[in-house]
Structure 1
Amino acid sequence: MTRRRTHLRTTPRGTLRAVTGLFLALTLVLTATGCGGDDSSAAASGDGKGTITFGYTADYSGAAALAVAEKQGLWKKTGLEPELQVFTNGPLQVQALRSGDLEFGYLGPGALWLPASGKASIVSVNMLGLADRVIARPDTGIHEPADLKGRKVAVAEGTSGEMILNLALREAGLKPDDVTKVAMDASTVVTAFSSGQVDAAATWYPLIDTIKERVPDLVEVSETKDYYPKLTFPNVFVTRPELARENPELVKKVVGVLKESGDWIAKNPEESEKITADFLGLPADRLTGSTKHVKILPSSELTRLSQDGTVGGWFDRLADIFVEMNKLPEPGKSTDYYLSDLYASAGRTDRT
């Protein structure tokens, strides 16, 4: 039986974007937590059996694959028993990975600088985020990224909002200091934009839905899908680099579960919203529409895109953005931290 534990830790400022309803979800998840964890030496022994520790965040993208894997009984096929641990963000999961308290975890796009800096290895792409936007107030005359020059833009630093802003500026031939960035937390961005304190904002759905209630005719200046397939904002699953080196067969078994779960989600997106809501202890309709803001690729396509270098290119281009955001001293190469060959060679649980 899958076991769950909840980690209520302080969220570092600006490391991962806020998600509407997250803390409600965390509170509700507390009612579903199980007993404390056993050690995972059996899983690490090489026989592929035993307990593994797996982190996630309490939102649709962060929990859907694990929710479906549990509902469909996919772990049973591998002989693995996951101990699922919920965290408030990705960076805390990387801390747990590095301390040995966690073997696998989930990262949103705003935390991908961590594997790029060698602190984790990416074993699988989960979903591609489509929620991020640069938006402008209708009375500013801002219609395209070039119009942002000299304007006041609200942004939560260190998030995917800052990433989409920097990307839009780059595509327009502008630099980050060509605009006046007004740093604030994600919830304050909503207030500042709605009240006219700034000309534009870099943020994401569902926060933009809230803004639209107050500024219905806002302008969407730039969005994530404008840059696909050259660049996108993936969320991913990660492990400790040494675990991937020392026990690749175990990692492949886990990736096989993630592949099969992702393929099921790709075929049943609306049902996956309901399963994830139930997994998180939320009302059935709480996550309705979540799949509108992600792109879910089947494992066959992710394998092809991994083998032809497309996925690695996504990480390399994002690393350039992280350098601009002062998260990385230099971009490095995705071949050092995205285990594309391991992903491609991992078999789905129904084919092993």
Structure 2
Amino acid sequence: MLHSLKRRAVAAALILFAGTGALAACGGDSEEGGAGGAKELKLGFFPNVTHAPALVGVDKGIFAKHLGVAPKTATFNAGPSAVEALFAKGIDATFIGPNPAINAWSQSKGQGIKIISGAASGGAMLVVKPEIKSLEDLKGKKVATPQLGNTQDVAARSYFKSKGFTVNKDGSGDISIVPQDNSQTIETFKQGVIDGAWVPEPHASRLVVEAGAKVLVDEKDLWPDGKFVVTHLIVRTDFLKENPETVRKLVEATVESIDFINANPDEAKKSVNNQLTKLAGKPLADEVLDASFKNITFTTDPVASSLITGAKNAEAVGLLEPVDLNGIYDLTILNEVLKASGKAQVNAQ
């Protein structure tokens, strides 16, 4: 299965980097830069507000400052696609949600990736048509998620199942789950093709502001203290072993980017919008951006307990075989960086 995944991913990664003009510059595997550092870093992230640490880090030149050169970047709609590119060595590291990271760990038998930092908590919800008053009203309806097996897809399936609804991978059941690209969701919602969506920010707030949807379930209400990982940073294990100093610089940049967001939210919003405009062709409305930021906590804490629960949820809905997650985190570099700057360290429990 993993070999097939790699073959599919090679083509995807080539398309991604050819489209940004980065393929010619980066070639194949990252080249060694000496002293445990690579000459370049290929970094993935999503055009979502939940990936603001990446968006701000790129826009403000924070990654370039720490790495010595701007990273080669690629964007994805959802985690499974990013994992494919990672396994194909189209990227070296990526900001990603928890469930695709778990799948990557499982598919590579605990060898392929490491989670090296948190990035964001919260910022995902189920939004529906105004006339839908309760979950019971969703029976026989269609709900979109970003991609089969992505973090919001697993959350939706697990939640509906816990409430007694059948939701099958083929779209059948009491509630039909329809995986689709986030960029399509507003239009399909407006057209009445779907009745709701379980999506991350800014897509949830866009549906509310631009399409008249309402929030039926804010996912943070389902987690202890309202905390759950929505985005963290992972790296290929081989890249980490071969280029520890490059990874350290990446972590340092991530910490600085998160600090900048929390200390300068208004300026951070401008940076996010700058990058989203470049990636999507137009900025978010201020109302959408403000709402999105209110729903997200940017933090280096990976909220490890929620990852473990997420894995159990994925198993329960048939999207993951039982997996031992021991060793999936390597927070050594992160905690060294946090300690050096006088910040509280985080743990993998």
* SS of residue matched to 1:226: helix
Residues 121 and 338, structure 1, Cα contact 8 Å, conserved in 2: yes
Counterpart in the other structure of 2:104? 115
The alpha-carbon deviation at position 316 of structure 1 amounts to: 0.9
- How many pairs are equivalent? 312
The alpha-carbon deviation at position 234 of structure 1 amounts to: 1.5
Structure 1 counterpart of 2:84, from 74, 90, 95: 95
Whole-angstrom CA distance in 2 between matches of 1:213 and 1:58? 18
Structure 2 counterpart of 1:132, from 125, 128, 137: 125
Counterpart in the other structure of 2:274? 278
Output aligned runs, 1:309-320, within 5 Å: 311-320=303-312
Aligned CA distance change for structure 1 residues 292 and 34 (closer, same or farther; 3 Å): farther
Aligned CA distance change for structure 1 residues 95 and 284 (closer, same or farther; 3 Å): closer
Counterpart in the other structure of 2:234? 238
| Alignment gaps of 5+ in structure 2 | 1-8, 343-349
Q: Deviations over 1:118-140 (max 9, x none)?
A: 442211121224132153542x5
Q: Deviations over 1:228-287 (max 9, x none)?
A: 446524112211122334544442332111111111111112212222333455488537
Query: Is the counterpart of residue 46 in structure 1 residue 35 in structure 2?
Result: yes
* SS of residue matched to 1:81: coil
* SS of residue matched to 2:40: strand
Residues 116 and 332, structure 1, Cα contact 8 Å, conserved in 2: no
Output aligned runs, 1:61-72, within 5 Å: 61-62=50-51, 64-65=53-54, 67-68=56-57, 71-72=60-61
* Paired residue type of 2:289: S
Q: Deviations over 1:156-200 (max 9, x none)?
A: 351444333234335546554672325353577656655667765
Output aligned runs, 1:288-303, within 5 Å: 288=286, 289-290=288-289, 292-293=291-292, 294-299=295-300, 302=301
* SS of residue matched to 1:112: helix
Residues 48 and 79, structure 1, Cα contact 8 Å, conserved in 2: no
Output aligned runs, 1:252-263, within 5 Å: 252-263=248-259
Query: Is the counterpart of residue 84 in structure 1 residue 103 in structure 2?
Result: no
Whole-angstrom CA distance in 2 between matches of 1:87 and 1:100? 15
Aligned CA distance change for structure 1 residues 58 and 137 (closer, same or farther; 3 Å): closer
Residues 48 and 200, structure 2, Cα contact 8 Å, conserved in 1: no
Counterpart in the other structure of 1:19? none
Residues 133 and 202, structure 1, Cα contact 8 Å, conserved in 2: yes
| Alignment gaps of 5+ in structure 1 | 1-6, 12-25
Whole-angstrom CA distance in 2 between matches of 1:219 and 1:206? 14
Q: State the identity %.
A: 18
Counterpart in the other structure of 2:4? none
Whole-angstrom CA distance in 1 between matches of 2:144 and 2:334? 34
* SS of residue matched to 2:255: helix
Output aligned runs, 1:201-280, within 5 Å: 201-203=197-199, 206-208=202-204, 211-212=207-208, 216=212, 219-228=214-223, 229=225, 232-279=228-275
* SS of residue matched to 1:221: strand
Counterpart in the other structure of 1:17? none
Counterpart in the other structure of 2:6? none
Aligned CA distance change for structure 1 residues 238 and 190 (closer, same or farther; 3 Å): same
The alpha-carbon deviation at position 36 of structure 1 amounts to: 1.2
Residues 134 and 164, structure 1, Cα contact 8 Å, conserved in 2: no
The alpha-carbon deviation at position 202 of structure 1 amounts to: 3.6
Whole-angstrom CA distance in 2 between matches of 1:339 and 1:191? 40
Query: Is the counterpart of residue 168 in structure 1 residue 166 in structure 2?
Result: no
Aligned CA distance change for structure 1 residues 267 and 292 (closer, same or farther; 3 Å): farther
The alpha-carbon deviation at position 71 of structure 1 amounts to: 2.2
Whole-angstrom CA distance in 1 between matches of 2:310 and 2:69? 34
Whole-angstrom CA distance in 1 between matches of 2:203 and 2:55? 25
The alpha-carbon deviation at position 55 of structure 1 amounts to: 2.4
Query: Is the counterpart of residue 106 in structure 1 residue 95 in structure 2?
Result: yes
* SS of residue matched to 1:42: coil
Whole-angstrom CA distance in 1 between matches of 2:179 and 2:63? 42
* Paired residue type of 1:54: L
Query: Is the counterpart of residue 321 in structure 1 residue 313 in structure 2?
Result: yes
Query: Is the counterpart of residue 340 in structure 1 residue 336 in structure 2?
Result: no
TM-score, normalising length: structure 1: 0.69
